[in-house]
Amino acid sequence: MGGSAAALTPCPGPLAGLAVKRAALLAPLRNKGFRLLVGGQMASNLGDAFYSVALPWYVLANHGSAVLLGTVLAAYGVPRTVLMAVGGHASDRWRPWTVMMACDSLRAVAVAALAVTTASGRAHPAVLVAVAVVLGAGEGIFLPGAMSIIPALLPDQKLQAGNSLSMGGNQLSFLLGPALGGAFVALIGPSSAFGVDAVSFLVSAATLARIKVSVTHGPGPAGPDDAGKAQEWEARASEDGVGRRQTLGSLLRSERVLQVTLAVIIAANLGMGGLYNVALPALAHGPFHAGAAGYGALLAAISAGSLAGTLVAGQKARFHQPAIAASAAFLGGSCFTAIAPYLGSVWATGVTLAIGDGFYSYGNLVFVTVMQRWAPPQLLGRIMGLLLTGSFAAYPVSVALGGVMVRSFGPAPLFPAAAGILVLALLGGLAQRSWRDFSGAGPAGSSQVAPSRGTAALSPPEHDDGP
């Protein structure tokens, strides 16, 4: 009899382990506010993919000017980078959902105006530039809030899984969106694609409005438990005391880990922008002679690898040494990046880049989550705005250097060069004890405390509203 109970107890196997991991990854979707956020952002990013196809097609077909296209893209990129710091401050001052909703509403109006203008005739270049400025400004103000909103909706133990689902949904939109957008533009035209993007912004704004209602008016469309999470996060973000007196400047001066993080981000992005936007298309066009289809296949492989890495990382709630885990993932990815152009075929290069970008996405997710846990809630938007500014500010320098290097040496050497810059940046970070020991515990002097079992750093214990 003593052995019969053991015989009736199933032994955990690989399938049971996978089921547990899948349940942990999907658990944040039980939160209605988080479901609204993910659904709205997926719709918005899908619309952005339509716009990204329609804009160059419209400009080149109706104006025939690559110079105008470059001007429009610059008119988008400059305000986006410049206004990220403003967006971070706004997110902390008026809360992420409010700022994100306002930005999406403004961008919906701008793209709708572009859709109407282009449908009525050939849009004047000044109109294209003006719309690009509005969209870039909206994106720059929007992004810090998007990086700050999830800790307000989810408890700490679900934060990494929530980031994984959010980033994974965006990556899925980027994977499928360009193909759908291309077919849409070919069949119906760019003006309608602009209209789809405008509608997607409205969908996102509507979901953010529902989240905002639950915070400002108590239990509502998002459910009573979601309101409790966000309201307690608001109380922490607004509380008086030592943490309230902190500023971004004082934190940047006093916290070595923030200084090192910013330096590593800038250094790492100095190589990667030129690699993906200059060397990769040059490799497909030149040495591989793969054409547009081959280049598209490489981009699809990279997107698929990124999605896989994001979802794998989301299955683990917490790392004992997250900065080291993220650094190891980035170092692993750099090894695959370095060898990718020397494998002699598009498919081998695509597989290698997919694996490398899987590592990058894994490390990125881990690091974003630990930074969200570490930052004082009242400064989270500004800290994310600072780090995003460092990343995006390196982009124009990177593509300019990449262009010079590709012209002088061909596209292949830029891959190991970019990987080498990333490795040097990471080794410089790992040489700093503050980076190695970075675990998500709040900065010195902050009112935020590191979470213990059952306690969340940025949100209260979980009380989900159910499916």
Contact call for residues 353 and 275 (beta carbons, < 8 A): no
Q: What are phi and psi of 421, to 5 degrees?
A: -60, -40
The helix/strand/coil state of 255 is: coil
CA–CA separation, 386 vs 392, rounded Å? 10
Condensed to tens digits (0 to 9), the pLDDT of residues 74-122 reads 889 899 999 999 999 999 999 999 999 999 999 999 999 999 999 988 8
Q: Which string of DSSP letters, residue by residue, matches 322-339?
A: HHHHHHHHHHHHHHHHHH
Name 179's Cβ contacts closer than 8 Å, sequence gap at least 6.
Answer: none
Contact call for residues 61 and 185 (beta carbons, < 8 A): no
CA–CA separation, 441 vs 392, rounded Å? 27
CA–CA separation, 405 vs 232, rounded Å? 51
Q: Per the structure block, which two tokens stand in for 298? A: 């490489």
Residue 11 has pLDDT above 60, yes or no: no
CA 405 to chain centre: 28
Q: Is the pTM of this model over 0.85?
A: no
Q: Per the structure block, which two tokens stand in for 252? A: 């940047």
**Nearest Cα to 201, choosing from 112, 292, 79?**
112
Q: What percent of the chain has pLDDT over 70?
A: 82
Residue 221 has pLDDT above 70, yes or no: no
Q: What is the pLDDT of residue 424?
A: 93
Better-predicted residue by pLDDT, 215 or 109: 109
Domains of the chain plus CATH, in order, are: 24-237 (1.20.1250.20), 248-446 (1.20.1250.20)
The helix/strand/coil state of 227 is: helix
Q: With 0-12 CB in 10 A as exposed, 13-18 as middle and 19+ as buried, what is 8?
A: exposed
Reading phi first (left if > 0) and then psi (alpha if -120 to 50, else beta), residue 455 is in beta
pLDDT band of 439, cuts 50, 70, 90: confident
Q: Which of 41-50, 78-87, 311-320, 333-342 has the lowest mean pLDDT?
A: 311-320
Q: What is the pLDDT of residue 312?
A: 92
Condensed to tens digits (0 to 9), the pLDDT of residues 255-306 reads 989 998 998 899 888 888 889 888 998 898 888 888 767 887 888 899 899 9
**Nearest Cα to 373, choosing from 313, 301, 323?**
323
Better-predicted residue by pLDDT, 394 or 14: 394
Q: Per the structure block, which two tokens stand in for 208? A: 């953010």
Residue 382 has pLDDT above 70, yes or no: yes
Q: What is the pLDDT of residue 456?
A: 29
Contact call for residues 200 and 43 (beta carbons, < 8 A): yes
Q: What is the pLDDT of residue 262?
A: 92
Q: What is the pLDDT of residue 219?
A: 45
